[in-house]
Amino acid sequence: MELRIPPATIGLLCLANLSEVLLGLALLVDWIRNWRHVKAYWAWGVGAAGAVLAAGILQVALVALAGLPNWRSSLPPGLTGSAAPTEEQALILLLAGLLLMALGLLGIAIAVSRVAGYTMLGLHHAASLGHPGSRLLQRRSVPATALDDKVLPDLGADALWPAEGAAPPAPGHCPARDYALSTLAVAAVGVAYSVLLFRLTSPRIAEVLTILPSYSADTARALTPAVVVAMLSAALSEELIYRLGIQGFLARHLGSRGGRYWLPVVLTSLLWTMQHAGVMEPGWVKLAQIFPFGLLLGWLYRRHGVESCILAHALFNILLAPLSSFLIGM
């Protein structure tokens, strides 16, 4: 079966991955240079990485349990029935299993380290710019050494939460109403816009996804526990990496304070959007869906911190998933 992947899709994915590699190297250098400040957030980085790792392990376990009844039908010819595998087949299976295990462990290590590093550096940049960063840090007293004196030489630890020019909130004060309404509004607007866009364009799942061994029209429409965990895990890891890590890095180094903060929001949303290329046909539909939602998440991060983005993203995924089966062709 010949796959027809548009050159534009391949180009976007290559550009997105190259950009992420270069940005990853830049963030690594920045992380090392600011280690004296970044290490103050090591517990938050480890906690974020642990949460992502736990979600991944749970997802794998759920997929394995769901596929356990059909495991015999997935074995290669000659290994079903009562016949034992030959020594050559057993060796090939062992080597293949070890290789896949090594690659999987390497991928997990890189992904977990990336989440931890981006979380730590993102919190440092949020503190140095006086952005919310994380609501969990609102009541936490951060040493003045955790702030970048070159950016805010006259502000202390209280600069963590307030917007520029605003007075620090009273201890224990939590604008819960505005927080909840903003988070729910971003998720609701994203879902409503996506439904309208899909109704007008009638997109289909990309051909390259339909040939995956685990794909079928029935499983694609089912909101199984494994799918729910995967969507929640994606919301967690993507917001930590893109909004907290990359958007915070760009805001710090592009001097995007005040009215210029739109620039890191747009750049981060573009990068996040390009990583979703090739999911639907026609390809532009997915890009038109993701980019505006990325702008909303960027605004929400600047206003309320990364937890609100994770909640809005998770709600968006959960609410849109059952509707997508009726809006997107399989």
Q: How far is CA 313 from CA 260, 291, 302, 329, in A?
A: 24, 13, 15, 23
Average confidence score pLDDT of the chain: 81
On whether residue 16 sits in a domain, the answer given is no
299 token code pair: 């605004």
- pLDDT, one tens digit per residue, over 278-303 is 888 888 999 999 999 999 999 999 99
On whether residue 8 sits in a domain, the answer given is no
How many domains, the chain? Answer: 1
The pTM is what? 0.82
Note the pLDDT of residue 192.
96
Tokens 């969990």 belong to 136
Note the pLDDT of residue 17.
92
Note the pLDDT of residue 93.
81
Taking alpha carbons only, the member of 304, 280, 292, 300 closest to residue 191 is 292
Q: What is the band of 114 on the pLDDT scale with cuts at 50, 70, 90?
A: very high
Structural domain including 155 reads 28-69+86-327
**Cα of 173 vs its chain's centroid, Å:** 29
- pLDDT, one tens digit per residue, over 127-147 is 988 888 888 775 454 444 444
Q: What is the band of 211 on the pLDDT scale with cuts at 50, 70, 90?
A: low
- Please say if the pLDDT value at position 304 is more than 60: yes
On whether residue 128 sits in a domain, the answer given is yes
CA distance linking residue 102 with residue 40, whole number of Å: 32
- What 3-state class would DSSP assign to 310? helix
Q: How far is CA 315 from CA 33, 166, 186, 221, 232, in A?
A: 37, 30, 9, 18, 9
CB 299 within 8 A of CB 163: no
- pLDDT, one tens digit per residue, over 141-187 is 444 444 444 444 333 333 344 444 444 444 445 578 899 999 999 99
On whether residue 18 sits in a domain, the answer given is no
294 token code pair: 């990325």
CB 25 within 8 A of CB 115: no
CB 312 within 8 A of CB 191: no
Phi, psi values for residue 329, rounded to 5°:
-70, 145
CA distance linking residue 4 with residue 281, whole number of Å: 11
Q: Cβ–Cβ contacts within 10 Å for residue 6, how many?
A: 15
On whether residue 127 sits in a domain, the answer given is yes
- pLDDT, one tens digit per residue, over 62-106 is 877 876 665 555 555 554 555 666 777 777 888 888 888 888 788
CA distance linking residue 19 with residue 129, whole number of Å: 24
CB 130 within 8 A of CB 154: no
CA distance linking residue 271 with residue 250, whole number of Å: 12
On whether residue 4 sits in a domain, the answer given is no
On whether residue 163 sits in a domain, the answer given is yes
**Cα of 11 vs its chain's centroid, Å:** 21
Q: Is 134 left (phi over 0), alpha (psi -120 to 50) or beta?
A: beta
Phi, psi values for residue 165, rounded to 5°:
85, -5
Tokens 């509707």 belong to 323
